[in-house]
Structure 1
Amino acid sequence: MVNESNREAILDAASELLTRVGRDAVSTRAVCNAAGVQAPTLYRLFGDKQGLLEAVASRGLASYLAEKQNLPSTGDPVDDLRRGWELHIGFGLAEPALYALVYGNPRTGAEPEGAEQAARILAGLVHRIALAGRLSVPEERAARVVHAAGRGTTLTLIATPPADRDMVAARITREAVIHAITSPAAAEDGRPSALPSHTGPDGTAATAGEPAPRTRADIGPSAIALRAALADLTALSPSERQLLGDWLNRIIDDDTAGSPDGPATAAAHDTR
């Protein structure tokens, strides 16, 4: 009980120093003085200053993560991703010191537990887009793109004086990312609504009612959607699911090689 009380007092003191003065002010001596404990108590509970900072970050992220995890679905997984993006940026602007502590000083393989949980929530949002047949790049790559862009946008906004923050630029970035990783929603016939319906396989006019041919633009998302659902294909044995997964990866890679938008888009889709 005493340990828990000391732990909370230390975390409260460290969080207050972080918010009021910044990360550089969060020294073990300053925290101990503010919390009214001796240094050995801090080291016993948190190991070292880095352990303390990670605990501060994880506790500070808890309410944000709870809100993000419980965000009600709109029924459109792409819109759900948009809302998650806005929630992420809103958290960063509301808690700039905490956000900078979590994301502003990256160390390989050393993210706080809360940041790892946030990454899992993002992966879940991306997975739902894949299951809907609207993801045009592999899931892991899509999540990395969204995370990198959201993180960079938020840190840029934090570093900009509030009066000069360009929220329109932030929304443009969001939409550019979404455009890069998703395909249009399907029309009533199941085809992406943006695909032309007036040309046949040879580029000539199709007859009335004749569907447009499938192209790389909708084969890729279909393969990614099936790849995302592999674990649920219980009619197949594990070895059959593995083989199907290998085939789907080849289809996705072939879609990458033939990307109509040039090397930059192909690089974004490349799974190798």
Structure 2
Amino acid sequence: MAAELATVAPVPGAGALRVAVDGPPVADPEGLARSIAERLPALGRSAVVVPAAGFLRPASVRLEHGRTDPDARYEDWLDAGALAREVLDRTGPGGPGEYLPELWDTVRDRASRQVHRPLPPRAVLLVPGSLLQGVGLAFDVTVHVRVSAAARRRRTPAELAWELAAFDRYDAEVDPAALADLVVLAEHADRPALVRQGRFLP
């Protein structure tokens, strides 16, 4: 699947191609993004992976209503403004062509103190994470890894079951599979299938 996705995305122009790899944690969007990135150099294209998990809000905001609040997981965890400001806007048209690899260290719950890094020319910038659509982020291409509600329940560890309601709400309110340019059907992790939509239709 990673090899197929690496060949599908259009060749970027002078700037970067900003690609979201969106999916619930059980779909491992970061693993998929890194697999795509590994294959792009062989196609003559550089790649950078910037996980959205590096742009979560401080624990005082994320966990204000407790550690297992699905509405907070849906609304309050991702600092979409920071991700736009420090990554997507800076690598998009008119930006300086640089990105911040991480803003917030969630383990230590403090600023990561990273510095901006230059993006290679004509690079593919992959941003993996969850709940990335419907919050106004300026991606050029969006890949959604779709796992049905039933499969999410089967595959989510018991200690993370509280998150399921957030992803149910995401499906109902945003319909990420309909919005995405490319959909990876991952009901069964060992048998994914790719669906192209809009301008990516054969």
Q: Is this a same-fold pair by TM over 0.5?
A: no
Structure having the higher strand fraction is 2
Structure having the higher helix fraction is 1
Higher RCO, 1 vs 2 (CA within 8 Å, ≥6 residues apart): 2
Query: Considering only CA atoms, is the larger Rg found in Structure 1 or Structure 2?
Result: 1
TM-score, normalised to structure 2's length? 0.26
